[in-house]
Amino acid sequence: MEWEKILFDAVKDGKIRELHLRKIPVLKTCNNWREVEPVGWVDHNMKLSHYKGAVVKLHGRIYFVTEKTINALSEYINWKFPRKIDVI
């Protein structure tokens, strides 16, 4: 529970640490994608991986959704990302 609060506070400022970004769970499936609220867009290269997608909020929790999932759902849902989240 405490990690979720730390992650949410980090994302609110528009910046997130690389360590915290790795702790965010990836949202792969959802019963109703229309309940997902976009928080911001992330595009960051790490040493061994590339995070390209969005940080979203669902039922008060923070998740990461990959660009591949967003593109697949873009026919049905109009995604509007309020800002770009910087990774530090």
**pLDDT tens across the length of the chain (88 residues):** 566 776 667 776 788 888 888 888 999 999 999 999 998 899 998 888 899 999 998 998 889 999 999 999 999 998 888 889 888 8
Rounded to whole angstroms, what are the CA distances from 57 to 15, 47, 74? Answer: 16, 26, 17
CA distance 59 to 37: 9
The confidence score (pLDDT) of residue 42 equals 93
The confidence score (pLDDT) of residue 61 equals 87
Whole domain around residue 49: which residue ranges? 2-87
Total count of domains within the chain:
1
